[in-house]
Amino acid sequence: MMVCVMYVNNIEIYDNVYGGYGIGRLDNGKVVFVPFGVKGDIANIKIKEEKKSFSYGELIELVKPSHHRVDGFCKYIGVCGGCSYGFLDDDFEIEVKRRIVENSFRNISDFKIDEYVHSNKRDYRVRCRMRLKWGGLFYKKFNSNELVSIDECPILKPSILNKLKDVAGSYSDTDCDISIIENEKGEELIFLDSDIDITDSKYNIKSKRCQKGLKSIEFNINKHTIPAGYRSFFQTNRYLFESFQRKVVEQLKGYETVLEFYCGSGFFTIPLSKEVRKIVAIDQNDEALRLLKQQATGRAEVLNTDLKKDIINIKGRFDAVLVNPDRDGLSKGVLKVIMDKKPEIIVYVSCNPQTMSRDIKNFMNRYKMCQFTVVDQFYKTYHIESIAVLTER
């Protein structure tokens, strides 16, 4: 069968959208999504995939670059799938992200962003996941399982990449995923998704077979000790930890009882447990909850529940609810519990404005949005962290 490859010349990229795409329009009116395109670019592209109402393209050649386009952020930009906004100048990146959030909430009347908090410091990431393959380190290409070999990453703490390179060299016959988190003291936890023997390592490291060194590490954030484990979720941007935590906790001060879903190892739970009379914190990550129980005050009750299923038997009334789901948003079970409990306030934290908006629409008959803050933890990527505060009408 002959495959017809279609090329389109001199297409204008007229906007940037969520997911890391620039968008243009073909002669037939169909929208085409072009990774790494920047609003104002004139480009030659190749159509990679045809859908009924839109297409996906690949940028082949820049005929005329946008005045919003910058070069030099990283030598892997356009190949590695990580920093899909790496070609955007800083001011335009903020403009794009503001517009994406506003567009996601266009069906909620009188929506506005009250505050936009960001940091343009590069080496912000305290954790990452890569592929370790035959002594090298790899990220995935944009929207692909194909791998790209890397030896630098400007958004990672340099010490993290140095440790990963060292581990890769020590396990040069290994092919597996590798993840790392490092605190401000330089203590690290490294997980190798393999059953190899790592007992001779000089690092705190764990495989499916064995573990060497520390079982967990701690972060000091606003004078609170927040634990992190090998496989538990933790926030990303070390330059925004304090302001991010503080903005959420301050919204819930003064409320006596808080119900928290997707609590992780306690980034918000631990400071809140010192401010409220009672907090019930729920997640389904065994390691994270074990660490949380060790650090939270006696005011915190920690429950291990499958949040993807219907949630029952959460007894009592709660003044406030805090949720911080992954990018898929709230499960139906969590939505139902919140609606049944009828709290006075809901604080919704999310890294995906689209699922966040979808969920919040379910609450708008009873609640109004009184505050919306973007805490842009993900410099040069398309991810956008936000805090929405809903109070009863």
pLDDT tens digits for range 264-306 = 999 999 999 999 999 999 999 999 999 999 988 789 999 999 9
Give me the pLDDT at residue 143, please. Answer: 87
pLDDT band at 359 (very low <50, low <70, confident <90, very high): very high
Residue 4 scores a pLDDT above 70: no
Which pair of structure tokens corresponds to residue 271?
Answer: 């400071």
The amino acid sitting at 132 is L
Round to whole Å and give the CA distance between 162 and 40. 38
Block residue for tokens 């393999």: 194
| Tens-digit pLDDT profile for residues 78-106 | 889 899 999 999 999 999 999 999 999 99
Contact 373, 386 (CB under 8 A): yes
For residue 145, how many other CB atoms are within 10 A of its CB?
7
Backbone angles phi, psi at 103, to 5 degrees: -70, -35
pLDDT band at 3 (very low <50, low <70, confident <90, very high): very low
pLDDT band at 2 (very low <50, low <70, confident <90, very high): very low
Close Cβ partners of 237 (under 8 Å, ≥ 6 residues apart): 119, 124, 125, 126, 244, 377, 378, 379
For residue 42, the cross-strand partners are 12, 64
Residue 175 scores a pLDDT above 90: yes
For residue 99, how many other CB atoms are within 10 A of its CB?
14
pTM of the model: 0.94
3-class secondary structure, 166: helix
pLDDT band at 363 (very low <50, low <70, confident <90, very high): very high
Give me the pLDDT at residue 309, please. Answer: 80
Residue 174 scores a pLDDT above 80: yes
Give me the pLDDT at residue 200, please. Answer: 87
Mean pLDDT estimate for the chain: 94
Contact 314, 339 (CB under 8 A): no
Give me the pLDDT at residue 311, please. Answer: 76
Contact 127, 181 (CB under 8 A): yes
Residue 364 scores a pLDDT above 70: yes
Residue 60 scores a pLDDT above 70: yes
Give me the pLDDT at residue 357, please. Answer: 97
| Tens-digit pLDDT profile for residues 104-118 | 999 998 899 999 999
What one-character-per-residue DSSP string does 6-20 give? EEEEEEE--EEETTT
Q: Percent of the chain at pLDDT above 70?
A: 98
Count, in order, helices (H) and strands (E) of the chain. Answer: 7, 23
